[in-house]
């Protein structure tokens, strides 16, 4: 192997892009193969993600993108309200710097894309298979080979994960219907005030239902109506992409015994409807090491979103793998990659366990108390502070951004 390894990254999600950027900063080029046909093919904001101080934020800093991140970070998005299904407030966290600013997924992706030479990325390259010689075969008929390392950063249904393991993601027992609002301030100012600046959690306890509404930039809001149901439940009830009326009718039945103010979260929206089944990999997932291949992010340890750690884990993996690759320059890359995996497995096991506990407790009778205690502990462990960072005038940046 030459002193500069030849690296392929499958997938331009937060994990793959962070890795490519970190390697680029160290003078190591990589090639990303991504299914999306173009950088603009995703039109939605993709939801909001909170970056943690001990993982996602460190990766952003090492990627020399901290100042850029500040233009998109929403510190007021850290606000939290916890309610029961009768609309009683059990906890409110407002104006506190919890160290977990939110960023829209699209902004994070664009920020990373802008920081990587465009020739590093092959759009429209959906990996289909990897043959015995390690050659990558793409759906568009192209092939690629000769890499010292292929990194699977291709998310939940990773083709690289399939190569390394016989274990596949399984249904977590929870489905969701996403309801998108394009501009809640214009659509319903009263509802906008109820949702607040950050996350509005409503627990249904033993009903097996809960609602999470999160504000994103420019008044965009996503409500996730979560349900503990069998895997075919949404399909059995004809809840499909785009069928707004059927989804509302279905959800009104499912959330029948909820306060009328809360039902407005599922009747008052003007955007798309997306039904989802949430899948996961087993807690403690690992695989037999295979020279020339590894996994990061969801492809290594897919979790439900109930602990809000997935993107942070993906970026942390990217950081650790970048360190391993950079450290091995000219030396034993395979040993370095195995060393990375041995560090990542126990770290992701801890996160996956926390996530699984959160998945279950979100539907427990005392789930609201569990989350309340977790939020309080997080604030106390770092010391409650007034928000020290001003919310930046994001409007200036919107003008410059391609929002297609």
Ligand X SMILES: Cc1cc2nc3c(=O)[nH]c(=O)nc-3n(C[C@H](O)[C@H](O)[C@H](O)COP(=O)(O)OP(=O)(O)OC[C@H]3O[C@@H](n4cnc5c(N)ncnc54)[C@H](O)[C@@H]3O)c2cc1C
* Interface residues toward ligand X, by CB under 6 A: 10-16, 33-36, 47, 49-50, 126-127, 153-155, 159, 297-298, 305, 308-312, 314
Contact 278, 307 (CB under 8 A): no
Residue placing its CB nearer to ligand X in the complex, 325 or 352: 352
Residue placing its CB nearer to ligand X in the complex, 33 or 120: 33
Residue placing its CB nearer to ligand X in the complex, 139 or 335: 139
Nearest-approach distance from CB 365 to ligand X, in angstroms:
24
Nearest-approach distance from CB 86 to ligand X, in angstroms:
26
Residue placing its CB nearer to ligand X in the complex, 122 or 264: 122
Q: Tell me 74's DSSP state.
A: B
Residue placing its CB nearer to ligand X in the complex, 53 or 256: 53
10 Å Cβ neighbour count for 322? 26
For residues 91 and 201, give the distance between their C-alpha atoms in angstroms, rounded to a whole number.
Answer: 10
Nearest-approach distance from CB 3 to ligand X, in angstroms:
28
Nearest-approach distance from CB 33 to ligand X, in angstroms:
5
Side-chain-side CA neighbours of 220 within 13 Å: the count stands at: 18
Nearest-approach distance from CB 108 to ligand X, in angstroms:
9
Give burial (CB, 10 Å; 0-12/13-18/19+) of 318: buried
- Find tokens 């015995």 and name the residue: 132
Render 135-189 in DSSP notation, one character per residue: -EEETTS-EE---SEEEE---TT-HHHHHH-S---EEEEEEEEEEEES-HHHH-H
Residue placing its CB nearer to ligand X in the complex, 1 or 360: 360
For residues 307 and 315, give the distance between their C-alpha atoms in angstroms, rounded to a whole number.
Answer: 16
Q: Tell me 389's DSSP state.
A: S
Nearest-approach distance from CB 283 to ligand X, in angstroms:
15
Nearest-approach distance from CB 62 to ligand X, in angstroms:
17
- Find tokens 């394009």 and name the residue: 182
Residue placing its CB nearer to ligand X in the complex, 154 or 188: 154
CA angle 39, 35, 281 (to 5 degrees): 120
- CA torsion 224-361-283-344 (nearest 10°) is 80
């Amino acid at each position: 192997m030459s002193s500069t390894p030849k690296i392929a990254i499958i997938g331009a999600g937060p994990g793959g892009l962070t890795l490519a950027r970190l390697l680029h900063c160290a003078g190591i080029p990589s090639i990303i193969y991504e299914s999306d046909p173009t950088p603009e093919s995703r039109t939605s904001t993709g939801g909001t993600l909170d970056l943690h101080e001990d993982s996602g934020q460190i990766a952003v800093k090492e990627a020399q993108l901290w100042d850029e991140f500040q233009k998109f970070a929403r510190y007021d998005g850290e606000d939290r309200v916890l309610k029961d299904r009768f609309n009683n407030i059990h906890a409110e966290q407002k104006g506190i710097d919890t160290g977990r600013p939110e960023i829209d997924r699209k902004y994070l992706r664009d920020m990373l894309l802008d920081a990587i030479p465009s020739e590093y990325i092959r759009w429209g390259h959906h990996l289909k298979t990897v043959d015995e010689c390690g050659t990558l075969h793409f759906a568009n008929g192209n092939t690629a080979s000769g890499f010292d390392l292929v990194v699977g950063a291709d998310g939940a249904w990773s083709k690289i994960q399939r190569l390394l393991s016989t274990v596949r993601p399984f249904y977590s027992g929870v489905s969701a219907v996403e309801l998108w609002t394009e501009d809640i301030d214009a659509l319903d100012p009263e509802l906008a005030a109820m949702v607040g600046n950050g996350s509005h959690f409503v627990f249904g306890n033993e009903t097996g239902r809960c609602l999470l509404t999160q504000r994103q930039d420019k008044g965009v809001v996503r409500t996730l109506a979560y349900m503990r149901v069998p895997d075919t439940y949404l399909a059995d009830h004809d809840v499909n992409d785009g069928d707004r009326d059927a989804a509302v009718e279905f959800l009104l039945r499912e959330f029948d015994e909820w306060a009328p103010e809360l039902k407005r979260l599922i009747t008052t929206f003007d955007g798309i409807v997306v039904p989802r089944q949430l899948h996961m990999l087993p807690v403690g997932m690992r695989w037999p090491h295979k020279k020339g291949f590894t996994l990061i992010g969801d492809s290594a340890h897919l979790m439900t979103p109930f602990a809000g750690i997935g993107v942070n884990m993906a970026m942390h993996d990217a950081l650790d793998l970048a360190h391993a690759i950079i450290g091995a320059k000219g030396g034993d890359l395979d040993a370095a990659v195995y060393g990375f995996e041995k560090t990542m497995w126990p770290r992701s096991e801890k996160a996956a366990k926390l996530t699984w506990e959160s998945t279950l407790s979100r539907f427990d009778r005392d789930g609201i108390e569990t989350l309340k205690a977790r939020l309080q502990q997080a604030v106390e462990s770092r010391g409650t502070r007034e928000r020290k960072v001003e919310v930046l005038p994001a409007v200036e940046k919107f003008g410059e951004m391609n929002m297609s």
